[in-house]
Amino acid sequence: MRNVLIVLSGPSGVGKGTIAKELVKRNKDISLSISCTTRQPRNGEINGREYFFVSKEEFNNRINQNDFLEYSQHFENFYGTPKSFVLDKLKDNNVLLEIDVNGGLNVKKNFKDAVLIMLEPPTINDIVLRLKARNTESDEEISKRMERINYELSMRDKYDYVVVNDQLNVAISQIEEIIKKEKPS
Ligand code: ADP
Ligand code: 5GP
Q: All domains of the chain, ordered by start, with CATH?
A: 5-182 (3.40.50.300)
What is the model's pLDDT at position 114? Answer: 94
3-state helix, strand, coil split of the chain in percent (to 5) is 45, 25, 30
What is the model's pLDDT at position 1? Answer: 53
What is the model's pLDDT at position 2? Answer: 85
Alpha helices in the chain (DSSP H): 16-26, 56-64, 83-90, 101-110, 124-134, 139-154, 168-182
Probe target for ligand 2 pocket from 6, 14, 35, 102, with the most ligand atoms within 8 Å of CB: 35
Q: Which ligand is nearest to the CA of 127?
A: 1
What is the model's pLDDT at position 145? Answer: 82
Nearest CA residue ID for atom 13, ligand 1: 134
What is the model's pLDDT at position 75? Answer: 78
Q: Is the CB of 59 under 6 A from ligand 2?
A: no
User: Which of 100, 85, 96 has the alpha carbon at shortest distance from 175?
Assistant: 96
> Is 115:160 a contact under the CB 8 Å cutoff?
yes
Residue 14 Cα to ligand 1 middle (Å)? 6
Residue 43 Cα to ligand 1 middle (Å)? 16
- Which residues line ligand 1 at a C-beta cut-off of 6 Å? 10, 12-18, 130, 133-134, 165, 168
> Is 11:148 a contact under the CB 8 Å cutoff?
yes
What is the model's pLDDT at position 117? Answer: 98
Regions of the chain short of the pLDDT cut 50: none
pTM, entire model? 0.90
Probe target for ligand 2 pocket from 12, 34, 79, 159, with the most ligand atoms within 8 Å of CB: 79
What is the model's pLDDT at position 137? Answer: 85
